[in-house]
Amino acid sequence: MSADGDCFQTATWNPTDYYLQVYPCCFLLTAALEDTSQTALLTFHNQLTEEVHVFYTSDYCYKCLYQHLGTVKPRDKNASAKVNTQFTLTMQVHLQTGNATFFCRWSQTYEEGGHYSVWVQKPLGFTHPVCKFSVDKSPNNAYLPLMVAALLLAIITLLFVMVPYIFRRHCTSEFIKTVCCQDPQPSLDNDGAPAGEATDTGRAKPSRLLSLDTFRGFSLTVMVFVNYGGGGYWFFQHAPWNGLTVADLVMPWFVFIIGTSVVLAFNSMRRRGVSRQQLLRKITWRTAVLMMLGFCFLNYSPRDGPLSCSWLRIPGVLQRLGFTYFALSILQTFWGQTEIPLRAHHWWNPVQDVVLYWPQWLIIIVLEALWLCITFLLPVPDCPTGYLGAGGIGDDGLYPNCTGGAAGYLDRWIFGDNMYRYPTCRTLYLTVMPFDPEGILGTINSIVMGFLGMQAGKIIIFYKRNHAHIICRFLAWAIVLGISAAILSKCTRDGGFIPVNKNLWSLSYVTCMGCFSFLLLGGMYFVIDVKGWWAGQPFIYPGMNSIVVYVGHSLLGFYFPFSWEMRFQASHWESLLQHLWATALWVLIAYLLYRKKCFLKI
């Protein structure tokens, strides 16, 4: 049995036999999902004279039906099962009687590599059977590889960043002077040549906004690592449905960065006299290239077998990023403020970065209203209106074919089979319906997320001579968005008005990630561009060649030297080493391209 449905999800403890027919018994982990580093062995010893049946559910699975784990024969027989160690499991043991009432129930998070025993017996003097527990083999320290890796990375950072930085300071007074003095004003153009590169006029181009490149590179580095597998740790993989993991953070960061870059780049191009027609040609070309890259190059691998248009996926990550970029660019092209007005006294001066862009805000409000109306008002056959659950065995098994509610229904109606067929909820919730996390409704909120990034760019432009004001406004936006996310989700994973859900790109997910984005970009802006305490290495290198790194790791990531066949899968050591090694190789490739001044732009 596995907490996320890898195995022994055989039959539902339910009056109906629906799931018993759909999910036949299996006593081995599925080869495609087997990861011995995330399992423990659980053995049941039956000392009774009747058969007992064991059922389980994962506490991460919202209102899920109990699943049949196995049957243990009577009279000192035993049966073993591999259980997943990602989430807490609730077990129930039932006697083989007509009413099948349980007499043992417990919740426990099993640890990796551990061997556990459950003794089902009726001691002398007891009227009912009891369950006793023992640990036959102590579990492994699953987090030791991660702690060692973190320590090594910290040492490398100290050697290659901090030591040279301190060595260059000849005395304490000079060091204090460097920290306290104001650094040169950063440029607001992140769409041109790299920092320090000479322009056609022979003069050195002003420095780029390095914090934005660093933020992009940091997001990309984390994305590469989690795409490789994140060392086999569950929190480096996407959440099954509601909730957040590290893997759920990176794509909205990218979308936020797109919005900020659009404002800064368009502001720079307008200063250079680029016409609206030229902007539209550039927007159209970049959008087409991004969407074709996503559809043609990242949609298919020879490992998938013969190419068939009947199952070729239409939505995708780059397709969503391309369309989001197009929508944001159109907003900035037609409704962007061309000139900042004189600083005369107006009541709206404190919020001029909002008021002056009221047409854009009106469009975004209409888009969000459209998302809310479709999500909560669109009738979905055989599903409750406004349903946001995963379906399958969740919600007491009442809506097995309602995965994603209106979002899933709309995508299946438009794309048919040409969409993602292995959503993250499939293994835990045992869903049978396809669901695409890059679907149509989620793209609406992706545009809203990018618009929050545009707001960050407007703040940087409007208050470019007042760093304290920029940081304070970033913090204010983070607080407002964070409070909004807390209210919408009720500070719970599953019980809010609108749960935080990456698959749906829910409104609470957008506000939550907007909060994180403002905080992270604001912190990097202060440390890198204002104080100059850090130059952004090594993240700035992949940040300035993001297309090469993303497309490269998607196409070549599973070939040597980026990966190899692992021999030691019983722990995280080799998988974590492989995934860190592959990520480091792409950072190194980006660094070499940076040194050669080779930057792939679309």
Contact assessment for residue 57 and residue 394, using Cβ atoms and an 8 Å cutoff: no
Nearest Cα residue to 229 out of 509, 434, 60, 35:
35
Task: Give CA 141 to chain center in angstroms.
Answer: 26
> What whole-number distance in Å separates Cα of residue 423 and Cα of residue 432?
10
For residue 569, the number of C-alpha atoms closer than 13 Å in the C-beta half-sphere is 12
Q: Give the chain's radius of gyration (CA, Å).
A: 27
The b-or-e profile of 541-557 (16+ CB within 10 A means b, else e) is bbbbbbbbbbbbbbeeb
Residue 335 vs residues 353, 361, 366, 448: alpha-carbon distances, Å: 13, 10, 15, 16
* C-alpha to C-alpha distance for 510 and 492, rounded to whole angstroms: 16
Sign (positive/negative) of CA torsion 217, 220, 224, 229?
Answer: positive
The two structure tokens encoding residue 392: 């399958």
Strands 102-108 and 115-121: unpaired
Write the burial class of residue 159 (CB in 10 Å: 0-12 exposed, 13-18 middle, 19+ buried): exposed
Residues 56/25, Cβ–Cβ less than 8 Å: no
Q: Does the annotation count 238 as an active-site position? A: yes
Tell me how far apart the alpha carbons of residues 175 and 168 are, in angstroms, rounded to a whole number: 9
Cα distances (angstroms) measured from residue 450 to each of 20, 270, 332, 424, 521: 45, 21, 12, 24, 14
- Catalytic option among 238, 467, 572, 579: 238
54 bridge partner residues: 70, 93
Residue numbers annotated as active site: 238
